Amino acid sequence: MNDRKIVLITGATSGIGKAAAIAMAKSNYIVVIHGRNQEKTIQVCEEIRSISANKDVNFVIGDLLLMNDVKKVAETFISRYGKLDVLINNAGGIMNKEREITIEGFEKTLAINLLAPFLLTKLLLDPLKQSEDGRIINVSSDAHKLAAKPDFDDLGMTKNYTPLTAYGNAKLFLIWITQHLSNELKQLDAHNLTVNTLHPGAVATSFGVKSNLGVFFNIIAKLARPFLKTAEQGAETMLYLATSNEMKNISGKYFVNKKQAIVSNKYYSQKHEELIWNYCVEKTKNWL
C-alpha cells in the first residue's frame, strides 16, 4: 500500500471533483473522496470503484462551510492514512443573493472557498510532508479577474455584499494564500511539497445551480449551459497538476487549460497578500 499514491479530493460527489476521482482511481491511486451527504457519498464511492475496478476508493464526510467539520475531515483522514500525496481543494460555491453567515460566524462564500481550503491544508501538512512529491491543488476561478472588488476593511462584506463579488474576492484571496504558502514551504525547506491554483473553465456541472443569484444571472446561466465544458474536460487541468511529471517542482503558480496563466494584479500587493494570510490564520486559529 505504501508505494501507491493517495489523493484526497474535496467536493468529489459530482462535477469536476468526481471526474478527477474517477480518472485517478483508474490510474491506481488510493482515492479518498469528500462529500457532505453520507448516503450520496457512499453511492458515488461504489460507482467509482465499479467504473475504475479499483477497490481502494474511500470517503470522508463533512460540511466544509463549518471549520469544525473541516477539522473532523482532517482528523478522520489522518487516523486512517500515514501520508497524503495529493490534496485537491475542489469544494466551493457561489452563495445566494442575500448575505448569509455560518453558525461559526463566517460569511458563507469566504468560509467554503477560502477558510476551508486554508484550514484543511494546514491540518494535512504533516501527512503531505511524508510524500516524496506532495502536491496541493486549489481550485480557483477566472472570476478573480472578472468579479473581484475587495474592500480590505470589510473582508466579510457586511456592507456591499453581492454573491458574484464575494465569490470573485474569495477566489482571488485563494490565489494569494497559495502564493504565500508556496514561499513559506520553500523557507521551511519543504522542497518535496508544491502548491498551485487553477481555473477549470466554465463547466456544465451542478455548480451554482442551487444558488439564487437573481433573475438576470439565473437566466444567463441557463442559456450558457449548452456551451460549457463537460466535467471531464473541466477536470483536465486539475489532473495535469496532480499527476504530471512536468509539475514536479513548480509551485505558487496559476493554471488555465494546463498552461501557466497570468493572475490579475489589479488589487495585488505584498501587503494585501500578507493581510489575507493573517486574516485566515486569525479566523481559523481555534481549529489549528
Residue positions annotated with a catalytic role: 167
Cα–Cα distance measured from residue 275 to residue 210, given in angstroms and rounded to the nearest whole number: 32
Residues linked to residue 59 through DSSP beta bridges, in sequence order:
33
From residue 252, how far is each of 33, 56, 138, 212, 283 by CA, in Å?
24, 30, 10, 33, 23
Pick from 69, 112, 87: nearest CA to 208: 112
Buried (b) or exposed (e) across 33-49, using 16+ Cβ within 10 A? bbbbeeeebeebbeebb
Per DSSP, helices labelled H in the chain are 15-26, 38-52, 67-80, 108-110, 116-123, 125-129, 143-146, 163-187, 215-224, 231-234, 236-243, 270-284
